[in-house]
Amino acid sequence: MFSLVNSNFSRTYNPTGRNALSDIKRLLTSRDTESQNKSCGYLIEVISRYDCNSNERSRMVQYLLDNDIVVFLCEATSNLDFSLLRSILQCVRLLWREHRFFEEEHATHALAAVVRALVHYSAIDALAAVDTCLHFICDLLHGIKSHKTTSALSHQSAYNIEQLLACILTIGNRICNKPNTILNSALVLDALISYQPTGLDLKGSVGKVLVETLDKWLEMLMSGLNHVMLVGQSDIGMMLVVTCQLGVNTLRLTNVLENSKEPVNFINKILKDEQEIAMLKECSSKMRNSIYNIIKQLVVFVKENQQEINTEEYGVFLKFLLNFMYENRKTDILPDFCDILFSKGYLIMLPQTQLIRNDITVRKVSILVLGEMLKILTEKYLYVDDNSNSETCIEDINMGLVELQYGIEKPQNIGMQLQKNQSYSLLIYVYFYCQSSQNPEESTAPLLPYLIEYILRFSKGSKPPGYVIKALWLVFAMSTVSNGSLESLDQRVYLEKATDRLVAMLYPNPAIYYTHNPAILFWAFTSSRISNNVKLHVLSEWFKTENSLPNDLTKGSMIWELLLNLITQSKDDTVITNSMDALNMCLDDADETTKEEFAILIWSMLPSVLSKALIDCENELDKNICYILDIATTQLPAQIDQSICLKVAVLITTLYSKNIPESNNILSKLHYEYVCLKMCLLLLGISRNRNENKVLLTFINRSGFLPSVLTATNSSDDGVACIALQLLSYIVFCFTNIEYQPKTIIEIQTDLIIKSLRYDIENERGSSLLQLVYTILNSNTNTPLVLTYNLKEHPSQSDQCYALRGLMFRIQLMLCSRDPKNQSKAAWKTLSSIYKHAIVYKNDLKLVATLTSQPWTHTLIRFQLTQNLTQEFLTFTQNWLTLLKVTIKKGKELKKQHISKRSLIMKTLMFLNNNLNGDEFKESSDNLLTIVRQTLEECNSRE
C-alpha cells in the first residue's frame, strides 16, 4: 500500500487502476467500524514512514490536505466508536503539523467534530472518551497558538467557540467529583484564553459565555483542590498550577476585553456598536470579580497547606499573586486584599517559606510581593496628613527592597540594616510584622539599641516623612516596653535622649502618628520625660476604640487625673463615653482609700473646670462638665471644704442661669440640666448639715437661677423635673427655717399645678410636685416661692377660694380613683397643709368653711375607710374634723344653722364612728374618735 501511494504520488491502485486515496475515503464513509479503522491505519502508516521534519512527510500531508482528507476523517467521528475515535484523532494529530492545517479551515472541522463527540460521551458518562476529547481539543488549541494563526476566540475565525464553551459548561455538572476531568477541562480553557494575539477582537456573546464558564470552572478547581486535600487521593500540584495559570491568563484577557472594539479611525467611530463595547466591559468586570474571589480562597488554601505544596508549584502561586497585585494597582480592591494577606500572616509566612525553600525564583517573587504589600498597607495605614509625597514613599520602598531581603534572610542583622540611609522599607516591614506576630516581643526587644542609635542620628529639629515617624513610634514603643536589658546608666541616658527626640518628632499633633496598639499606651507611661500632653493624645486615641484600660495602668493618681482631664477637655462623644466607662471600672476595683483620694482630687478640680466652662462656652452647652458633675455627685470625700462648696455653688448657678440655646441636642441638654440640679441639691444638703447658709443665699440671690429651676419642673424628662421639684422644695424648707426676708418672690400658678397633677398621677413627678406644694403651703410668708391663685395681680377672696378648692379636688381625685403607694402619704399631708395654710397664713374663716364643706371630702373619707388605714389619713381626718367643728359652731352662732340628721356630714361622722375600731394606729384612732363624737354632739346640739 505504501509503495503504491508513494511512487510519485501515484493516483492508481493496481490491478484495477483505481486511486488509492479514493479507496481510503470510501472506507472512511462506509459506516463500518473495522473498515474505517483500517483506513485510518493506512494513513497513519503512510505518514509515519517519513521523518517528522522531512520534506517527504510535508509533501504527503499537503497532498492529503489538498484532497480534503480531514473532512472525511471528521465525518467518520459520527460513528461514535471510541477505538475509531482514537485512530481518527491520531491521524489528525499527524496532519496538523503543517501550518496549512490551521491557516485553512481543516482545524475548524476537526474541532467541531470532536466537540460533537464530546457532547455524546459526556452524556453517557464515558469519562475515558471525554478525557481523550479534552486532551485533543487542548492540543489543537495549543497548535493554533504555536502556528500563530487567528485565535479561536476572535470573531474573525471560523471556530464555533460558543458551541465548545456551551459543551464544557454543560458537562460541568456531571464531573463535579471527577478531579482529572475537571483538570482536563481547565486545561482546555487555559489553552483557549492563553493565546491573545495583538488585535484580538471578541464578540459580546462569546465574552458572556466565556465569563460564565470561567467563573464556574475556577470554583470547581478550588473545590477540587479542597476535595483532593481532604481525601488525599492524588497530588494537588497540577491542579494548583492550572488554577493559577488560568487565573493569570484570565487577568490578561480582562485587559483585552476592556480595550476590545475601541474604534481607531473615523469610519469605525461612526460604525462602532456601543452595546457591544458595554457588554465586553461588563464581562471584564465580572472576570475580575471571579479572579478576586478565587485568589482570596487560594490565599487561605496555600497558607493552610503550604507543607504539601512543592516549591515549583508554590512559585507559580506567587507569580499569580504578584500578577494580580500588578493588574489591580489602580483599583479599590487591593487595600482590602492586602488586609486579607496581612490577617492570614503572609508578612511572616513569605519570609519563612523563602528561607525554607531556598529557591531563587521563590526568593525574588516573594520580595516583590512583600514590596507590593508594603506599598498598599503603608498607603492605607501609615500615610498621615503631613504633606508627605506618596511617590516618594513608593520609591523608598522600592529602593529598600535589597535591605529588606537581606534583613529577612539574616534576621540577626536586622538592627545593622536599620543603620543604612534608606532603611525605610525594613522599618515599615517590622512595623507590620510585629503587629501580625503572636509574640512581637521576640522581634522587637533586640532592636532597641539599634533604634536608639537610629533615632539619635536624626538632627534636632529634623523630621523624617510622616509614615516613617508613625512606623518608628510603634516599633520603638514595642522595643522599649519589651526590652528590660538596659541596665547601665549610659544606656538609660541614651534611651531618654531618644525618647525626647521621638517626642519632638510627634509635635505639634501626635494623634496623626498614633497606631492603636497597647504598646504605645504602655510606652506613654514608661518615662517621666513624656509630657502629659502626649499622654492625653494617646489616651484620647485609645478611647476612640476601647472603653477600658489595662490593669497595670489603672493604679496611681496620675492616670485618674489624666482621665478627668480627658473627660473635661475632649470634644469627641465616643472618647468621653469610653473614658467614663474606664473610670467607672477603675472605681469599681479601687479600695476605699483610693476612692477617697480620687474624691478629694475631683472636688479640688471642680472650681477650675466650671470656671473654664463659664469662660469658654458663652452661648454653647458644655457637655464635658456633665460627666465631671456626674462623677462628683457620686464620689464624695469624707470632708469637703466649705469654701469649695461655695465656689462650686456660685459657678454652677451662674452656668445654669444662662440661656441654653435651642440648637443643642435635646438629650445633652437634659443630661446637663439633671447633673447641675443634682449638684445644687447635694451642695444645699452639705451646707445645711453644717448650718451654713451661704450656699442657700447664693441660690436665692443669683438672678435667673430660681426661674430656670422652676422652668425645669415642666421638663419632658421625669428625672429633670423631679430633681428640680426636689431642689425647690428643699430651698423653700431651708429658707423658711432661717427666717430671712427674700429680696424677690417667684409665684407658682396654682392652675398649672392642677393641670400637671392631672397627667402625673402615677409617677415620681407627681409625688415631687405634691411635696413642693406641701412645703410651700407649710412655709411662712417669708418664702421665695408662693402659690398664686389667678393671673390677676391682686386676686379676690373668691379667686383664692376657687384655686385652693381646685387644688384640693385634684388631690382628692388622685387618692380616690387609685391609691399609688408612692404618692398617698404626700397627698394626705398636702391636703392637711391646705387647711393649715387657709387658717394660719390666710386667717380666713370663710375660706376654711368653704374648704371643709366640700362634698368630695366625705366621699374620699368613706373610700379610704375601706382601704388600709395610714397615719397620714388619720391626721388629715382629725384636722378636717377640728376645722369642721369650728365651722359648724360659727354657723350656729352667726346664721343659726343646724345640721340635719340626714345630712352628708352626719352620715360621714356615723361612718367614722362605726369603722374606726382597728388595733393599728390605736392612739391616733382613739383621738380621732373623740373628735368625731364631739362633732356629733355639736351637730345634735340645738342651743
Please say if the pLDDT value at position 571 is more than 50.
Answer: yes
Q: How would residue 491 be classed by pLDDT, with cut points 50, 70 and 90?
A: confident
Span 882-888, average pLDDT: 77
Span 656-684, average pLDDT: 84
Name the residue with higher pLDDT: 887 or 722: 722
pLDDT number for residue 459 = 81
Closest by CA position to 853, among listed 817, 894, 814, 903: 903
pLDDT number for residue 78 = 83
Please say if the pLDDT value at position 51 is more than 50.
Answer: yes
Q: What is the DSSP letter of 745?
A: -
Query: For residues 283 and 211, is the Cβ–Cβ distance under 8 A?
Result: yes
pLDDT number for residue 587 = 83
Please say if the pLDDT value at position 410 is more than 70.
Answer: no
Q: What is the DSSP string of 120-171?
A: HHHHTT-HHHHHHHHHHHHHHHHHHHHTT---TTSTTS---HHHHHHHHHHH
pLDDT digits (tens, 9 = 90+) for 690-718: 888 899 999 988 888 998 998 888 888 88
Could you give the dihedral angle defined by the CA atoms of residues 820, 822, 824 and 829, in that order, rounded to the nearest 10 degrees? -160
Percent of the chain at pLDDT above 90? 21
Name the residue with higher pLDDT: 414 or 190: 190
- 788 pairs with which residues across the strands? 749
127-131, 633-637, 828-832: least confident range: 828-832
pLDDT number for residue 895 = 58
Name the residue with higher pLDDT: 539 or 819: 539
pLDDT digits (tens, 9 = 90+) for 255-279: 888 876 555 555 445 545 678 788 8
Span 363-369, average pLDDT: 91
Please say if the pLDDT value at position 756 is more than 80.
Answer: no
Q: Which of 64-68, 188-192, 259-263 has the highest mean pLDDT?
A: 188-192
d(CA 54, CA 50): 7
Name the residue with higher pLDDT: 639 or 793: 639
pLDDT number for residue 473 = 94
Q: How would residue 320 be classed by pLDDT, with cut points 50, 70 and 90?
A: very high
pLDDT number for residue 6 = 42
Span 917-934, average pLDDT: 74
**738 residue type, one letter:** I
Please say if the pLDDT value at position 434 is more than 70.
Answer: yes
Mode of pairing for the β-strands spanning 746-749 and 785-788: parallel
Closest by CA position to 334, among listed 372, 362, 382: 372
Q: Which of 30-39, 357-366, 760-769, 860-869 has the highest mean pLDDT?
A: 357-366
Q: What is the DSSP letter of 787?
A: E
Distance of CA 36 to the CA centre of its chain: 71
Give the Cα-Cα-Cα angle 290, 294, 297 (nearest 5 degrees). Answer: 150
Closest by CA position to 174, among listed 220, 135, 215: 220
pLDDT number for residue 842 = 65
- The separation between the first and the last C-alpha atoms of the chain, rounded to the nearest angstrom, is 163
d(CA 47, CA 59): 10
Span 651-658, average pLDDT: 89
pLDDT digits (tens, 9 = 90+) for 822-872: 557 778 888 888 777 777 666 667 777 777 777 878 888 888 777 777 888
Distance of CA 546 to the CA centre of its chain: 13
pLDDT number for residue 506 = 92
Bond from prior residue into 179 cis (ω within 30 degrees of 0): no
Please say if the pLDDT value at position 385 is more than 60.
Answer: yes
Span 576-583, average pLDDT: 90
Please say if the pLDDT value at position 14 is more than 60.
Answer: no
pLDDT number for residue 790 = 57
Average pLDDT, the chain: 82
Q: How would residue 216 be classed by pLDDT, with cut points 50, 70 and 90?
A: very high
pLDDT number for residue 513 = 93
pLDDT digits (tens, 9 = 90+) for 226-249: 888 887 766 788 999 999 999 999
pLDDT number for residue 823 = 56
pLDDT digits (tens, 9 = 90+) for 494-521: 889 999 999 999 988 899 999 999 999 9
Span 173-193, average pLDDT: 87
Please say if the pLDDT value at position 12 is more than 90.
Answer: no
pLDDT digits (tens, 9 = 90+) for 558-569: 888 899 889 888
Please say if the pLDDT value at position 133 is more than 70.
Answer: yes
Given CA atoms 912, 916, 920, 921 in this order, what sign does their dihedral have? positive
In the numeric block, the cell 505504501 is attached to 2
Q: Which of 212-216, 753-757, 855-859 has the highest mean pLDDT?
A: 212-216
Please say if the pLDDT value at position 820 is more than 70.
Answer: no
- 749 pairs with which residues across the strands? 788
Q: C-alpha cell of 669?
A: 441638654
d(CA 466, CA 505): 9
Query: For residues 61 and 47, is the Cβ–Cβ distance under 8 A?
Result: yes
Q: C-alpha cell of 166?
A: 456551551
Q: What is the DSSP letter of 747?
A: E
**815 residue type, one letter:** L
d(CA 293, CA 289): 6
d(CA 489, CA 169): 75
**904 residue type, one letter:** L
pLDDT number for residue 18 = 47
